[in-house]
Amino acid sequence: GESVGLHLPTLSVQEGDNSIINCAYSNSASDYFIWYKQESGKGPQFIIDIRSNMDKRQGQRVTVLLNKTVKHLSLQIAATQPGDSAVYFCAENVLLSQGGKLIFGQGTELSVKP
């Protein structure tokens, strides 16, 4: 089932430090995972994705790690900048008879202190 929380987790980091945002997903059959960034007043923006046959994928300043054993996903942001301040969502693709649909986590708010 979906994990729904009433409180948005927050992470506060110093500019230049590395950030790690964690996410637990619910469906062991999910085959695709995405991290989105949402700034205030905007729609979610794609950051990076990973398929279930991988355990790590790197982008520019971001790395996603997937641990299928414990159904855990993490997003690492290197050298965090003030522009990284936003809410970050993980999403899992749940397979359906026709395609799939994304189930979003509740989100984590990242605050970067200058």
User: Looking at 10, 15, 24, 51, which residue binds other proteins (CB under 8 A)?
Assistant: 51
CA distance 39 to 54: 28
Nearest to 111 by CA among 79, 82, 76, 75: 82
Quick check: 27 binds other proteins (CB under 8 A)?
Answer: no
User: In degrees rounded to 5, what are phi and psi of residue 101?
Assistant: -140, 150
Comparison of 28 and 114: residue with beta carbon closer to other proteins = 28
User: Looking at 89, 90, 108, 112, which residue binds other proteins (CB under 8 A)?
Assistant: 89
Quick check: 39 binds other proteins (CB under 8 A)?
Answer: no
SS3 (DSSP) at 30: coil
Comparison of 61 and 104: residue with beta carbon closer to other proteins = 104
Quick check: 9 binds other proteins (CB under 8 A)?
Answer: no
CA distance 18 to 62: 10
Quick check: 21 binds other proteins (CB under 8 A)?
Answer: no
CA distance 38 to 104: 12
Quick check: 28 binds other proteins (CB under 8 A)?
Answer: no
User: Looking at 46, 56, 79, 113, which residue binds other proteins (CB under 8 A)?
Assistant: 46
